[in-house]
Structure 1
Amino acid sequence: MSLAGKVAVVYGTRPEIIKLAPVITQLVDDAFVVDSGQHYDHELSGQYRAVFGIGEPDVRLDGVGGKSRAEQISRMLVGLTRVFEEQRPGIVLVQGDTNTVSAAAQAANYLGIPVGHVEAGLRSYDRAMPEEINRLVAGALSDVHFAPTRRSAVNLINEGVDRERVMVTGNTVVEATHRAIRQSARPVASWFPNGSIPPAFAVATIHRPENTDSAPALARVLRGLQGLAMPVLFFVHPRTRAAIERFGLQRETNGLIMHPSPGSADFLQVLSAATVVVSDSGGVQEESTVLKVPVAVVRKSTERPEAVDAGWATLVRPGTDIATAVARLLRSDRPDPSVPTPYGDGAASLRIAAVARLIAEGREPAVALRLASDHAGQEAPSDAVMDSGSATR
């Protein structure tokens, strides 16, 4: 069977569902959707697909979830190669920096199928992060790079990527966030024990290995949350909950209002009402910025410096007191809420789908980018990039 003229969209985690759903919606019948099974959970994945208005995938790989990184990538590489050999799409779209991205980009490239990377060009310059390696692999193998910001585009060009293959699209998180928040049915007050919203409160999410793989690192985060001068809604990732129990840090959670991770719509609804956010999640950093809620990013580095530069985020590195950093963030001057988000105008999926269709129909990537830019009345990708200035870390 040939899918010439069709666009294969590959996801494997819930963040990928969130950010690729707007693209799938734009592509309609031109999309052939593949779930790699990286984080597959039928109930949760189904909830996310329902919120974002997309149906079941056309293909789902088995035996991937819960394996080591190396085994996940090897199993996905074999499985996706088989799918792409049998179906032969006109282009494969991947998003972000997951193991799925690395495997799908390799499988398509080895078969001579063009690869389009959504959210291309993010860089933390920290190769100890698995995500950074996945981003670099995708950057090396992609034929067209959909950069969410001009800084991301400059990162790619500084690495030697042909500027004619780079398009500054904006980030699909803008569309996804605004769609999801309209789907929430749970009142914000219901998250609090007394059923009322306090005058100020924080939302916290922590899950990255740098914050959960050692007792001192996790204790620092928990004590930092306890030190905030407001109630804290702590949405606890399964990895974090297991680490709290493993290290015996239950005392460090006293006073925190703890809940399991909610669905996307309900989470964004409560996030929009928060005074401040404390998180190590890249996606939450973006969503907070879209909703204009200040966020303290508890990490050594971030591949999303635009939010920091815009004044909506601060990076809280190891050794920095979290409560002090949050207090400083709340005292600082922040941008006028009317100032547009650094992640674009909410039309990223439209631009990505237009280019993907042209490539699937047989156009060269550089030609497809130029035609799509001309049709939309935008600057050519090369001009947009040249205006970006230099990338900074």
Structure 2
Amino acid sequence: MKIVSIIGARPQFIKCAPVSRALRTDHQEILVHTGQHYDENMSGIFFEELSIPTPDYHLGIGSGSHGAQTGRMLLAIEEVLLKEEPDMVLVYGDTNSTLAGSLAAAKLHIPVAHIEAGLRSYDRSMPEEMNRIVTDHTSDLLFVPTENGVANLAREGIEKGVYHVGDVMVDALLFNRELAGRSDILERLGLDAGTYYLATVHRASNTDDEQNLRSIMAAFAALDRPVLFPAHPRTRKFLEQYGILAEGNVRLIEPLPYLDMLRLLAQATAVLTDSGGVQKEAYILQVPCITLRENTEWVETVEDGWNVLAGADTGRIIAAVSQMTGGGGRSGSHSAHYGDGTAADKIRRIISAFDKE
């Protein structure tokens, strides 16, 4: 088969790496980078680190409002699909690149495969939630990471083409964990393992809301140890716009390559984040997580006690850190909800079987 894989954001690069390796043993893959993440530290370096093939198309879409960005992506992706005439389009996750890729393919009657299907936060104010829902309802193959995801789809009447394969993020993490262990990022930053918190903030509900961003930064500043904060370009822009300073123990640094981030996460006392991917990585690495949101699509991390939802409230965030790190650590169970690291190969086999139908 000729498969067009569409990616555009940092988490998708990570997920793409193991899937691309698996797919290319049986099929021809055309890799399309929308350019949704275009900063070198958010994009280019990932392809080198993770040995992802150079994209066949780089659309260079860049930033913009949701409507403008998605519209430009739709137009550019459609042109690629008309030229390449693929047998299938593969999309990842819940970004505007995901939505544009699935819509462009569906309107051209090209089968769509969605990796990370079935996730729901049940918060429709999140753009990602709407992207997930629309993409799932336009997909022919739905590769679901969890049992909860299968149940979510069934509640929406989607049962055909649904496959519980596990999470490709586990594949990527297991593959890269040894490489990450060789990173010297702790030494470069003058940190010791277990002596710092790691923070990431990029959701529009936090960055675009001045009070939320101020409350989060105030909580970081009040914590009992250094808070290492690799700031997304979007977040840094709003910090400057609002005049919010990194105070107290907060160390604001540039975004980091994946392997450096993986080592920092693995060695952190806890992570504070509004990222779905980081929540899941923390769970897999058994690092306590405080989520700066009121909901999560990764409900298993909360149910097992490794993640607590604290929103953007200063007091709740500080209390959650104390809860998750005090008294000798946390004591929740830890289950293999996200698979055993073989999701990419399962996806390859299912796609190959679909070709023969």
Indicate the residue corresponding to 2:226 in structure 1: 231
SS, match of residue 296 in structure 1: strand
- Unpaired segments of 5 or more residues in structure 1? 364-393
Indicate the residue corresponding to 1:88 in structure 2: 85
Larger Rg: 1
Counterpart of 1:38, as a letter, is Q
Q: State how far apart, in whole Å, the 2-side matches of 1:233 and 1:317 are.
A: 19
Summarize deviations over 1:255-282 as a string: whole Å, max 9, x none. 3122111111000101101111111111
Change (3 A) 1:100 1:292: same
Kept after mapping to 2: 8 A contact 1:7/1:356: no
Kept after mapping to 1: 8 A contact 2:7/2:91: yes
Indicate the residue corresponding to 2:165 in structure 1: 169
Q: State how far apart, in whole Å, the 2-side matches of 1:330 and 1:43 are.
A: 30
How far is the alpha carbon of 1:357 from its aligned partner?
Answer: 2.4
**Structure number with higher relative contact order (C-alpha < 8 Å, ≥ 6 residues apart):** 1
Indicate the residue corresponding to 1:213 in structure 2: 208
Aligned pairs, number: 351
SS, match of residue 183 in structure 1: helix
Counterpart of 1:45, as a letter, is S
How far is the alpha carbon of 1:340 from its aligned partner?
Answer: 4.1
Indicate the residue corresponding to 1:14 in structure 2: 10
Q: How does 1:313-392 map to 2 (within 5 A)?
A: 313-319=307-313, 320-331=315-326, 333-335=330-332, 339-359=334-354, 361-363=355-357
SS, match of residue 43 in structure 2: helix
Q: How does 1:1-393 map to 2 (within 5 A)?
A: 5-28=1-24, 29-41=27-39, 44-62=42-60, 64-162=61-159, 164-184=160-180, 185-192=182-189, 195-197=190-192, 200-250=195-245, 253-319=247-313, 320-331=315-326, 333-335=330-332, 339-359=334-354, 361-363=355-357
- The root-mean-square deviation of aligned C-alpha atoms, in Å, is 1.9
Counterpart of 1:16, as a letter, is Q
SS, match of residue 87 in structure 2: strand
How far is the alpha carbon of 1:44 from its aligned partner?
Answer: 4.8
Deviates more, 1:68-77 or 1:109-118: 68-77
Under a length normalisation based on structure 1, what TM-score does the superposition of the two structures give? Answer: 0.84
Indicate the residue corresponding to 1:386 in structure 2: none
Change (3 A) 1:314 1:230: same
How far is the alpha carbon of 1:171 from its aligned partner?
Answer: 0.7
- Unpaired segments of 5 or more residues in structure 2? none
Counterpart of 2:307, as a letter, is A
Change (3 A) 1:270 1:175: same
Deviates more, 1:40-49 or 1:88-97: 40-49
Q: State how far apart, in whole Å, the 2-side matches of 1:265 and 1:181 are.
A: 8
Kept after mapping to 2: 8 A contact 1:95/1:119: yes
Summarize deviations over 1:324-347 as a string: whole Å, max 9, x none. 1111122464246xx443211111
Kept after mapping to 1: 8 A contact 2:274/2:293: yes
Change (3 A) 1:30 1:95: same
Q: State how far apart, in whole Å, the 2-side matches of 1:91 and 1:199 are.
A: 45
Counterpart of 1:119, as a letter, is E
